[in-house]
Structures are given as C-alpha cells and as structure tokens.
Amino acid sequence: MAKRFVGRARTADPVRLDAPRPSTRHTVRARVDKPDVGTRVIRLPDATQAIFVDHSGRRGRRLRWTLYAVSLLVLALLALLWLTQVVEIG
C-alpha cells in the first residue's frame, strides 16, 4: 500500500487512499449565503443528560492517577521515615 502524507506524518490510511477528498485547489469558490440566525433551530439543553457523569472517563482517570501518585508518594515518605528511625536505633 502506497504511503501518503497527512500533514507532516506518513500514513497508510486505506480510507484516505480509497476515497480521497476532492481537491478544492482549482475549483471556483462561490459565495454562500450565511444561515439565517433568526430562524435557526434552537438547541434545547438535554433534560435527560445525567448530572456529574463524564462519559469520556477523562475526569475520573485524571483524579485516579493523581490519587495513585499522591498515595505512592505519601507511602514512600512514610516508609522512609520509619526506616530512618529503625535504622538509627537498630
């Protein structure tokens, strides 16, 4: 499969190869009317959207790893503290 560049990265994405996007380099650009803001459909807030829930899981992951790191650090310091006391009197 031939390599292509996407941006600066080499890629072998078959989708991009099989269905390349039409180039707009030589096409004539026409003026398109802007959408009528006044009559645009209003997007109501989703009343059934569960509160607090982070479907991406990113928030939980960050908190968890922060907690792990802090726990590890505290445990290490605590172990070091006890170790230095034991070594001194041993």
Partner 1 sequence: MGTWRGGQRIGDTQHVVLPEPGRSRFSGRRWILAGIGTLVLANLLAIGAYANSRFAPDNEGEPGRQSGVPAAVREGGPVVDARDGRAVAHRVPDRTIVLTFDDGPDPLWTPQVLDVLHKHGVPATFFVLGSQTSRYPEFVERMVREGHEVGAHTFTHPDLAGLSGWRQRLELSQTRSAIAYAAGVTTPLLRLPYSSGVDSLDDKHWSVVRAAGGQDMVSVFDDTDSRDWARPGVDAIVRSSTPEDGHGAVVLMHDAGGDRSQTVAALDTFIPAMRAQGYRFTTVEGAFGGAAPGLAAGHASTGDQVRGGLLVWAVKIADGTGRLLWVLLLLVGTLTLARTLVLFGFALRHARRRRARTWSWGPEVNAPVTVIVPAYNEVKTIAAAVRSLATGTHPEVEVLVVDDESDDGTAEEVEALGLPNVRVVRVPGGGKAAALNAGVALARHDLLVMVDADTVVERDAIHRLVQPFADPAVGAVAGNVKVGNRRRIIGRWQHIEYVIGFNLDRRLYDTLHCMPTIPGALGGFRREAVLAAGGLSRATLAEDTDLTMAIHRAGFQVVYEETALARTEAPSTLPELWRQRYRWSYGTMQAMWRHRRALRERGASGRFGRRGLPFIALFSVVLPLLAPVLDIVAVYGVFFLDRVEALVAWLAVLVIQVITAVLAFRLDREPLRPLWALPFQQLVYRQVMYLVLVHAAATALTGGLLRWQHLRRSGEVAASAT
Q: Which is closer to partner 1, CB of 27 or CB of 56?
A: 56
> Among residue numbers 31 through 90, which ones bind partner 1 (CB under 8 A)?
47-55, 57, 59-60, 63-64, 67-68, 71, 74-75, 77-78, 80-81, 84-85, 88-89
Check: CB of residue 3 under 8 Å from CB of residue 13. Answer: no
Q: Which is closer to partner 1, CB of 17 or CB of 75?
A: 75
Q: Count the site residues for partner 1 by CB under 8 A.
A: 27
Closest CA to 17 of 36, 4, 6: 4
Our separate counts of H helices and E strands in the chain read 2, 2
